Amino acid sequence: MTTRYFEDETCWIADCLICGIPMVVWREHDAVPSPEVRDALLASLTLVAEEFYRGRDWYYDDHMRKIPDHYHAHARAK
């Protein structure tokens, strides 16, 4: 069981089962969202990551290693 931070019709954000850090997952089964959708997904992740990291530096990591055909991005500490 992981923490689920956010959910709507476009995406959900929860702690990654492997990394234990917030990640956003697009509900569409597609690896390449439009720039507008990607921006919206990352904006949602930003809200969670800012609270999670509480002033520490972090970055988006959307290199999809384990699930290459379903867009997702992690908020990783620098």
Specify the number of domains making up the chain: 1
**pLDDT (0 to 100) of residue 65:** 86
**pLDDT (0 to 100) of residue 68:** 85
For 51, the enclosing helix (H) or strand (E) is helix 35-53
pLDDT of the chain, 78 residues: tens digit per residue:
689 999 999 999 999 999 999 999 999 999 999 999 999 999 999 999 999 999 999 999 999 888 888 999 999 999
**pLDDT (0 to 100) of residue 23:** 97
Residue 24, classed as helix, strand or coil, is: strand
**pLDDT (0 to 100) of residue 2:** 84
The residue segments making up the domain with residue 36 are 4-77
Report in angstroms the alpha-carbon separations of 4 from 14, 19, 24, 34, 75: 4, 14, 10, 25, 14
Query: In terms of DSSP bridges, do strands 72-77 and 22-26 run parallel, antiparallel, or are they unpaired?
Result: antiparallel
Integer Cα distance of 2 and 32 in angstroms: 26
Domain CATH for 55: 3.30.428.10
Residues 5/14, Cβ–Cβ less than 8 Å: yes
